Amino acid sequence: MKRASCSGLSPRGLAGAALLCTAELARAHGGAEGSNLSWTLDGWVVGPLAFTLVAFLVGYVRVRRRATAPSTALRPTLLFLGGWLTLVAALVSPLHRAGESSFAAHMLEHELLMLVAAPLLVAAHPGGVLLWAVAHRARAPLARVFLAAPVATTWRRLIEPLTATVLQSIVLWLWHAPPLFDRALASPGWHIVQHLSFVISALIFWSAMLDPKQRHRQPAMLIGCLFATSIVSGALGALMAFSNSPWYAGYRALNLSAFGLAPVQDQQIAGVLMWIPGGLVHLGVALALLAQVLRNESPFRGKRNAT
């Protein structure tokens, strides 16, 4: 029996396999419609997710066929797939359905989007692989569009650490204000816009925080922004956790959450999720950067290199 390898797979075959998996999920979802915690297969969500996966797999196969050292692509591929699967867990799995009747589940969904999926996708640097998914004739013109001065300059300004931090903080606080959050709960369209805002702002934020150039030029700024983000998100979570009344009409109208909690208890758990685990992620990355800076500036570093 021949061993399967990526080099033996065609882009069309991978695309077909990915679409087949989506169809299988749809059939599974159809059989679970009676369940309150079924899979959510909204075309506006599943479509972009499936398209992105197919594009990445097609680009990956094409890159692997030309690569002289295929093993070097393993780490970014695993990071991308980890980020993509986290998006599926947050937006498609029963967790999303649970979030309709539990603020704590909804908060966990947001934390997965902003603190797990976004940094994994940024660390994967998938842009080059995705570009290879495009037809050969369109590849160079598309690359020129992204490298053009207006686009490149706008992106550089967006991923300035302070700009990215302020942008994400504004998005976070605005969408958790009761009027906007209630609108997202009541309207599927606004709910998609809310999640897009969280994902895009988080991608910009982590692109700034994980940028090697920024880490080299202004590590103190990155560390300060991560600490600030930990405080900003933690403060919002703490306000929820210590509140004696539910903030959002959509959850306030429920007698009990999906897990049998009163609305105020459900909100307090959601606040703790934002406050502690969320704050610890930013704090942990900040401490890791600080440790790297201290190692680089250590007086013993030169002696170790010399030996």
Report d(CA 93, CA 77) in Å as an integer. Answer: 22
What is the overall mean pLDDT for the chain? 82
Residue 241 has pLDDT above 80, yes or no: yes
**Which residue from 206, 197, 203 is spatially nearest to 170, judged by alpha carbons?**
197
Phi, psi at 267, each rounded to 5°: -65, -40
CB 49 within 8 A of CB 84: yes
pLDDT value, residue 254: 83
CB 1 within 8 A of CB 222: no
For residue range 177-232, list pLDDT tens digits in order: 999 999 999 998 899 999 999 999 999 999 999 998 888 888 899 999 999 999 99
What is the band of 149 on the pLDDT scale with cuts at 50, 70, 90? confident
- Which phi-psi region, left, alpha or beta, contains residue 256 (left: φ > 0; alpha: ψ -120 to 50)? beta
pTM of the model: 0.81
Report d(CA 278, CA 189) in Å as an integer. Answer: 26
Q: Give just the sign of the alpha carbon dihedral 242, 245, 248, 253.
A: positive
Residue 33 has pLDDT above 50, yes or no: no
For residue range 50-91, list pLDDT tens digits in order: 999 999 999 888 888 876 655 556 888 899 999 999 999 999
Dihedral over alpha carbons 21, 26, 28, 29 (to 10 degrees) = 140
- Amino acid at the residue 205: F
Report d(CA 259, CA 102) in Å as an integer. Answer: 7
